[in-house]
Structure 1
Amino acid sequence: MTFTQVNMFSTPRRLALQVQGLAEKQADTQEEIKGPAKKIAMDENGNWSKAAQGFVRGQGLSTEDIYFKTMKDTEYVYVTKQTIGKKAIDVLPGLKEVLTSLTFPVTMHWNKYDFEYIRPIRWLVALLGDQIVPFKILDVTTDRITYGHRFLGNAVALENADVYEQRLAEQYVIADHFKRQEMITDQIQSIAQENNWQIDKDEDLLAEVNHLVEYPTAFVGDFADKYLQLPDEVLITSMKEHQRYFEVKATNGELLPHFISVRNGNQTKIENVIQGNEKVLVARLEDAEFFYQEDQKLSIDECVEKLKSVAFHEKIGSMYEKMQRVQEIARIIGNYVDLSTEELADLQRAAQIYKFDLVTNMVDEFPELQGIMGEKYALLKGEKSDVAQAIREHYLPIASEGELPLSNIGAVLAIADKLDSVLTFFAAELKPKSSSDPYALRRQTYGIVRILANKQWSFPFKELQEKITRTINQNVDFYGIHLADQAVEVRHFLKGRLRQFLLAQNHRYDIVEAVIDAAQEDIHQLLEAAMTLNKHLNDEDFKSSIEALTRVMNLGQKDHSTNEVDPSLFENETEEKLYQAVQEIEDKFTSQTVEQNYQDLTKLRPLIEDYFDQTMVMAEDETLRNNRLAQLRKITQMAIAVASLNDLVTK
């Protein structure tokens, strides 16, 4: 059925759709349907076969409705099926199936029913104009009666569907979540302007608060100045994560002893609401202050020692053992990416202690502060600022597209920590499944790719993986786990996340596949290859160059020998010219950038075209054939080290 617009409404107590301009009935339809061939539909005597009879019966028609049409010199049975559209009032009771088929991340059941839903269904309103659309879910039958605000409103009968939003507003329910959000934003902004305050607009918190209320009223609460001695992150977490409060700052960004919250109601007895919220927050801040003071009595070494009894995973070992592995992984990576002597020393210190805050009281109470409190406490205990920063940054990125580590040692520690998780969970046969990833290995590996892309570090993953595996497996008792032979599977998993990253960067699909299929294990080289190919897509000679190299690769990939090219077997000048050009590229190939190698390979195009014009690669003489294939194999090996260029679409 046709309509002009759908309005969506949601509050903590209701979900609603309002369809405007709905047609009174479905449109009548006429559909031409093809059946079996005439020779199947009729016998030699002109009688209708069972196939023809079954066909028309399935369409609700008879053989009298059959006619024939010719397609590609064959006659086929056709019928024209006309369907009379149903009235809207007859179709809409099907909403029951729509409503009961909705799925939610979390469901519940109530009363004696086995049926599960996001919340118990208390009432149903279904109206077509002023008519009730009749259906029933469990023991609730559709009606025109809806209910207002839980404390301020009353039941109200809707005379027709058009007045839904207006009647609810009269009962202190702002059904449109966009309008509620605008009200909250305006009220907070008004408070901020009146007091010359700065309020950081947290979109996630705003959305959460918006969906907790039906009639929003913003208000200001206060807490004692003494709590400002706590780190800002502790105060903000106490307010935002636990109480859904907006923190208040001065215009210079300094945190102030106030908060803004949003009540589900009006201004009536707002003072009592403010006092209640202040009391709850103060209780949390008292706990936080106590934990903060108690944590400072602990030494970092004591905390690290406690990690021996903290499990990372029962099949993998303790958090302490993870830290020992990460120290070694970080050292290997740090040396490879050419960190300075001072950076390597700071990296080793950070890796020795980077999880110590997990056993502090503050992180136990506020898990979201792990890493953040590690940095705070490390500075209080006299650790270098670079070490403390790396402790915080090793968790980054927290979300797929979240903030990345800024410092080099923070980036290496983050890679090492995430890589250890991937290697050990794969070794313990706890790898992600298609439908689940309980240990967030996809997100962590995607984070590794993003960090490497940001830092532009060379990262030959196969080589590093082999070195890490050898080191860990030499002392299994110390490191807690043997890294089983999952090397190929882990590399495939990493390339899967690289594919995800490149697609997110809007690289063309064939470019992504060409890069992923490259005979190249260095992540940086693969990222550079994608950028290079994308850069040259619109070059005038791109199509002809790729087609020439593809022709070479299609033949060169067939040669699995290790034969060297013998110039004495050349029969024409084009073979010699191509050979000399390839030799020049080979001599500098490993020391050049991807861009330079791409340029050198594409410059071979005229030589390759002349070569194929004058040379029969698949010669009858086996010696000549093998020599020519060896020549093409050399070009192929260089080309595929950049990307699997024959995957590119050049049409």
Structure 2
Amino acid sequence: MTDFLLELRSEEIPARMQAGARADLEKLFRKEMQAAGVAVGAVTVWSTPRRLALIARDLPLATEAVREETKGPAVTAPEQALEGFLRKTGLTRDQLEVRDVKGKDTYFAIVEKPGRAVSVVLAEAIPAIVRAFPWPKSQRWGAASISTESLRWVRPLSGIVAILGEDLVECEVGGIRSAYTTKGHRFHHPDEITIGGANDYADKLRACHVIVDHEERQDLVRTKAREAAEAAGLTLVEDEGLVIENAGLTEWPVPLLGRFDEDFLEVPPETIQLTARVNQKYFVCEKDGQLADAFVCTANIVASDGGEGIVAGNRKVLAARLSDARFFWEQDRKTPLSQHAKKLERITFHEKLGTVADKVERVAKLAQWLASEGIVPGCDPAQARQAAELCKADLVTEMVGEFPELQGLMGGYYARAEGLPDAVADAIRDHYKPVGAGDDVPTAPVTVALALADKLDTLASFFEINEKPTGSKDPFALRRAALGVIRLISENGLKFPLLRGFDFALPEIRRDSGNFTDNSRKNLAKKGMDKGMHLVMGNTPSIVVYKRFGGSEDKYSQVAIELLDFFADRLKVQQKEAGVRHDLIDAVFALGGEDDLVRLLARVHALQAFVETEDGTNLLAGYKRAANILKKEDWSGQDDGIEHTGDEDPLENVDDPDMQAVYAAELAEQAAHKGLSYTPEKAEKALIDALDSAEPKAAAAVAAEDFASAMAALASLRQPIDAFFDEVTVNDPDPSKRTARLALLDRFRAAVHNVADFSKVEG
């Protein structure tokens, strides 16, 4: 067993590509070795700006001999089949073996491959790896580049080191032959270095001012930059992305502290930090929590003057950049945000949705409505509208044109600079939040109203024009917008029925959703006036009325349906990531008709706490037993002993299966309360009494949104249902007893379903 070293040296590799290149090099190496039958153990991959290096430990010196057997056609198969098999294996007929396979003579090809020296395998693998390397961007160079078949690499490839143990693996790629030699630091040691093998590679490079281990360079940048700031009495603003980038730009990192003109601090601190970070790759520093007039740059050499010349040069370049930022800041403030906002009329938001100014007007109406309806408590409607009208104005400023990352943030600064209320300025600044899973959720009322309005308008607008996410494609970030709405509502505890929001947010339509309260929906549902009008939430239809009785269906109803469906899916994803069991989410979604996220989540969390208790586990078992009996008996609740007019089926004129279920539950409940024609058994009577007590308690608790108490009411049914199954025969020979007991079980099932659909709960 021995170690193998491979170094691919080139001109500077962009820092952003180095992590991917390391992963690709190991992947390609393992693939080539596996194809050749070489067992590979530990592999280490390093990168610097000028090289990729791989060390594979404990490789064998030779591959083992391999005997391969390939089954061919039957002896009686057509001649063409045999000819194709011979071409595939490269053998002749007399080299094949004939074996009996299930009573049929069948050809087999036996190929014995002798072992090969691993050095030979590597000599073939290295060119294959280089030519197959998937750089995001690559180039051809030199005289050979006239041909499209010439070698491609991220930057011109200049050297290959390939050593197995102490022996050179001889190979050639694009005219570059492998060798024992590499080069050290471009300035400190530009001459060639002779490498003995994997064991002395890192040490010899270190002696020549190259730290080949990228993680070690990252630690150096992280530590030395912090020490440089602390030596000046400052605190480094940590930035892990900048640490990785600086380590990827240097082979011998030397962080140095520099100062810039204090007058530049009048520019917003985020602007200074972004200018230093994006344009110059500098860290910034703070003093007492405020941005300081200092930066930390990372040199690639140990300068003889201690770095004074390097710092002076970097200070000069940074000053030019900060001068531009200060110019933008001063110019932008000469024009009020309201005047900037007028320019939005010239910017298209989407060809089917008008300009950004059109979007701003929709958002303003929606934000004002959220405030005036009390959906966002404590929000001033006038301030909500003012913030919305100005929230996109900074998109046309010079500063945001230079640094798009500052949109929203600069609008907040400009608003504060012209004396607008702090609540308005803060709302403009933070209205894009939350952007990602780790982003803070706004809590200030005006900010919440604006952030919610902006995201709802985006969702409603793109769903209206049928630009919905498909598969992995989401060009307008609608999934992120939906998660943002969910977090804004849930983390602020907003009582916000989403359907009302959709009705108001959908462009060009402002329906009076006040007429469609929960009670009116239920009343219309009982009268059968809403047949065919359903909202699918999760996988279960629930009744939602989108049209007035006798009216025509609104064309935007389907958009609202799809939007709530979309939110249901996003909420499932979010809650699963938060550790909520998927089956419990389904159990609550299956109830249907719920568009208040706070109430829905409270029910889910109460259900999770309940099913993890002994009472919850046993009640679930009792529920499933009851459901199985009812399913086996094909129980629908019609044959309940209740007197009806004539012989008509009370469900005969109800086509919708969900409405049938509603009626059946009501009829079953009536049957269970109806006087029995026999004296119930003790356990039977106990279950009836328990239901009489638990049903109103659970219903009242659900109405009060006290779902923990609703679960506690269900818990009281656990012992009676257990005793019922132990002591009572459901399928009694007496038809009246059998019917009454099935109705009782149906009543028990319906009582549980008022809190959650336990059929969706696993266990």
What is the TM-score when the length of structure 1 is the normalising length? 0.82
Within 5 Å, give how 1:145-294 maps onto structure 2: 145-152=181-188, 153-250=190-287, 252-268=288-304, 270-294=307-331
The answer to whether the 8 Å contact 1:217/1:267 transfers is no
Separation in 2 of the partners of 1:155 and 1:484? 74
Within 5 Å, give how 1:590-629 maps onto structure 2: 590-610=703-723, 613-616=728-731
Quote the offset at 1:196 in angstroms: 1.5
Separation in 1 of the partners of 2:131 and 2:700? 69
Distance change >3 Å, CA 109–CA 600, structure 1 → 2: farther
Q: Which residue of 1 aligns with 2:674?
A: 568
2:289 aligns to what SS in structure 1? Answer: coil
Q: Which residue of 2 aligns with 1:94?
A: 125
Quote the offset at 1:81 in angstroms: 11
Separation in 2 of the partners of 1:230 and 1:268? 35
Separation in 2 of the partners of 1:646 and 1:126? 63
| Aligned-partner residue type, residue 496 of structure 1 | D
Distance change >3 Å, CA 169–CA 357, structure 1 → 2: same
Quote the offset at 1:516 in angstroms: 5.1
Separation in 2 of the partners of 1:280 and 1:221? 12
The answer to whether the 8 Å contact 1:548/1:608 transfers is yes
Separation in 2 of the partners of 1:569 and 1:121? 93
| Aligned-partner residue type, residue 212 of structure 2 | A
Separation in 2 of the partners of 1:551 and 1:467? 45
Quote the offset at 1:9 in angstroms: 0.5
1:505 aligns with 2:578: yes
Quote the offset at 1:414 in angstroms: 1.6
Separation in 1 of the partners of 2:296 and 2:429? 28
Quote the offset at 1:342 in angstroms: 4.9
Separation in 2 of the partners of 1:15 and 1:291? 42
Q: Which residue of 2 aligns with 1:582?
A: 695
Separation in 2 of the partners of 1:646 and 1:138? 66
Separation in 1 of the partners of 2:280 and 2:742? 75
Separation in 2 of the partners of 1:464 and 1:588? 26
Within 5 Å, give how 1:217-616 maps onto structure 2: 217-250=254-287, 252-268=288-304, 270-334=307-371, 338-340=375-377, 342-469=379-506, 472=509, 485-515=558-588, 517-519=590-592, 520-552=594-626, 555=630, 560=657, 561=660, 562-563=663-664, 564-565=666-667, 566=670, 567-568=673-674, 570=676, 572=680, 573-574=684-685, 576-577=688-689, 579-580=691-692, 581-610=694-723, 613-616=728-731
Quote the offset at 1:376 in angstroms: 1.1
Indicate which of 148, 162, 178 corresponds to 1:113. 148
CA-to-aligned-CA distance 1:219-275 (integer Å, 9 cap, x gap) = 22222121122122222121122211111222x123222211012233157444323
1:405 aligns to what SS in structure 2? Answer: coil
Q: Which residue of 2 aligns with 1:73?
A: none
The answer to whether the 8 Å contact 1:184/1:216 transfers is yes
Distance change >3 Å, CA 22–CA 363, structure 1 → 2: same
CA-to-aligned-CA distance 1:297-327 (integer Å, 9 cap, x gap) = 1112212222222222223221111112222
Quote the offset at 1:136 in angstroms: 4.8
Separation in 2 of the partners of 1:366 and 1:617? 79
Give the greater-gyration-radius structure (CA): 2
| Aligned-partner residue type, residue 606 of structure 1 | Q
The answer to whether the 8 Å contact 2:229/2:296 transfers is no
The answer to whether the 8 Å contact 1:303/1:360 transfers is yes
Separation in 1 of the partners of 2:60 and 2:730? 72
2:59 aligns to what SS in structure 1? Answer: coil
Number of equivalent positions: 619
Distance change >3 Å, CA 617–CA 296, structure 1 → 2: farther
Quote the offset at 1:473 in angstroms: 5.6
Quote the offset at 1:637 in angstroms: 3.9
Separation in 2 of the partners of 1:619 and 1:435? 59
Separation in 2 of the partners of 1:404 and 1:189? 30
Separation in 2 of the partners of 1:192 and 1:409? 39
Separation in 2 of the partners of 1:431 and 1:118? 37
The answer to whether the 8 Å contact 1:129/1:160 transfers is yes
1:221 aligns to what SS in structure 2? Answer: strand
The answer to whether the 8 Å contact 2:730/2:741 transfers is no
Separation in 2 of the partners of 1:632 and 1:617? 18
Separation in 2 of the partners of 1:297 and 1:511? 56
Separation in 1 of the partners of 2:748 and 2:133? 58
Q: Which residue of 2 aligns with 1:131?
A: 167
1:543 aligns to what SS in structure 2? Answer: helix
Distance change >3 Å, CA 598–CA 23, structure 1 → 2: farther
CA-to-aligned-CA distance 1:512-556 (integer Å, 9 cap, x gap) = 544555523332233334433443454223321222234456658
Separation in 1 of the partners of 2:479 and 2:259? 42
Quote the offset at 1:103 in angstroms: 4.3
| Aligned-partner residue type, residue 436 of structure 1 | K
Separation in 1 of the partners of 2:175 and 2:714? 74
2:711 aligns to what SS in structure 1? Answer: helix
| Range 544-553 or range 194-203, more displaced | 544-553
1:639 aligns to what SS in structure 2? Answer: coil
CA-to-aligned-CA distance 1:167-212 (integer Å, 9 cap, x gap) = 3223332110111112222322332232212112211221222212
2:236 aligns to what SS in structure 1? Answer: coil
Quote the offset at 1:157 in angstroms: 3.4
| Aligned-partner residue type, residue 709 of structure 2 | Q
| Aligned-partner residue type, residue 148 of structure 2 | Y
The answer to whether the 8 Å contact 2:368/2:382 transfers is no
What runs of 5+ residues in structure 1 fail to find an aligned partner? 44-49, 69-77, 476-481
Separation in 2 of the partners of 1:525 and 1:458? 8
